[in-house]
């Protein structure tokens, strides 16, 4: 879609940090209505600017979703790293990462949905995968896994975490305690199978 401001890129705003205000409004809209409920017009309305104003900062709606996802992955990766650093023992640290994963999905549903929409996930998901893989590497250092095995294990546990978080968000897991237990028990089973596979 053509930028309605044309070449008048120097026209000032009187809104403060309009770019971040639009991202915050998009976060709220996605949390309330899902990605399908996010429009430039509604985000602009929430912020109190004209429907054309977002084009000064984002080329189109997808660019706004991409920025929402980028900020989400940055915060998400920081949360996982902080959780991993919070416990001295590797498995306890990994369990803390699982709890942090679910907490993020619960507390930031707008960011979470944007992060895992098709385009941003392909563009920005490597850091989250790396966070899981590094946590697994620290926990299973004695298992002598190859880097490929670590990545595969990280992906399995990430898929489990994402599935549990998505089911809970959709209302299929009514109890937060059950969601946490399911994730941690499932991850433990996956790891046990790697360390001591059945013969």
* Predicted local distance difference test score (pLDDT) of residue 3: 41
Confidence category of residue 4, pLDDT binned at 50, 70, 90: very low
CA distance 168 to 106: 9
DSSP string, 134-181: HHHHHHTGGGT--HHHHHHHHHHHHHHHHHHHHHHHTTS---HHHHHH
Cα 72 → chain centroid: 5
Q: Kindly state the greatest CA–CA separation across the chain.
A: 70
User: Residues 95-153: pLDDT tens digits?
Assistant: 888 899 999 999 999 999 998 886 655 565 566 666 666 666 666 666 677 778 777 88
The CATH number that domain 18-58 falls under is 1.10.10
Instruction: Report residue 40 as tokens.
Output: 């430039």
Question: Can you name the CATH fold of 66-195?
Answer: Tetracycline Repressor; domain 2 (1.10.357)
User: Residues 74-94: pLDDT tens digits?
Assistant: 898 888 888 888 888 877 888
- Nearest 10 degrees: Cα torsion 184, 179, 126, 63: -170
Q: How far is the first Cα of the chain from the last one, in angstroms, to the nearest whole number?
A: 59
Task: Give which of 188, 196, 198 is closest to 92, Cα–Cα.
Answer: 188
* Predicted local distance difference test score (pLDDT) of residue 8: 36
pLDDT of 72 > 50? The answer is: yes
User: Residues 21-62: pLDDT tens digits?
Assistant: 999 999 999 999 999 999 989 999 999 988 788 888 898 998
CA distance 76 to 112: 9
Residue ranges of the chain that CATH labels 1.10.357.10: 66-195
What's the pTM? 0.80
DSSP string, 92-133: HHHHHHHHHHHHHHHH-HHHHHHHTSHHHHHHHTHHHHHHHH
User: Residues 186-197: pLDDT tens digits?
Assistant: 988 888 777 666
Residue ranges of the chain that CATH labels 1.10.10: 18-58
């Amino acid at each position: 879609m053509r930028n309605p401001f044309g070449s008048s890129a120097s026209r000032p705003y009187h809104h403060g940090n309009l770019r971040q205000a639009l991202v915050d409004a998009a976060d709220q809209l996605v949390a309330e209505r899902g990605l399908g409920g996010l429009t430039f017009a509604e985000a602009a309305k929430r912020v109190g600017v004209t429907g054309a104003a977002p084009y000064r900062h984002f080329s189109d709606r997808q660019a706004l979703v991409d920025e929402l996802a980028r900020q989400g992955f940055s915060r998400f990766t920081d949360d996982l790293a902080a959780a991993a650093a919070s416990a001295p023992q590797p498995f306890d640290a990994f369990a803390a990462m699982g709890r942090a994963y679910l907490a993020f999905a619960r507390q930031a549903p707008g960011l979470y949905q944007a992060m895992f929409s098709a385009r941003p996930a392909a563009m920005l998901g490597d850091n989250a995968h790396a966070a899981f893989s590094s946590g697994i590497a620290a926990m299973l250092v004695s298992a002598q896994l190859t880097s490929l095995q670590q990545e595969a294990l990280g992906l399995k546990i990430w898929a489990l975490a994402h599935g549990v978080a998505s089911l809970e968000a959709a209302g299929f897991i009514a109890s937060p305690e059950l969601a946490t237990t399911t994730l941690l028990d499932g991850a433990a089973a996956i790891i046990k199978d790697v360390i001591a596979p059945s013969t």
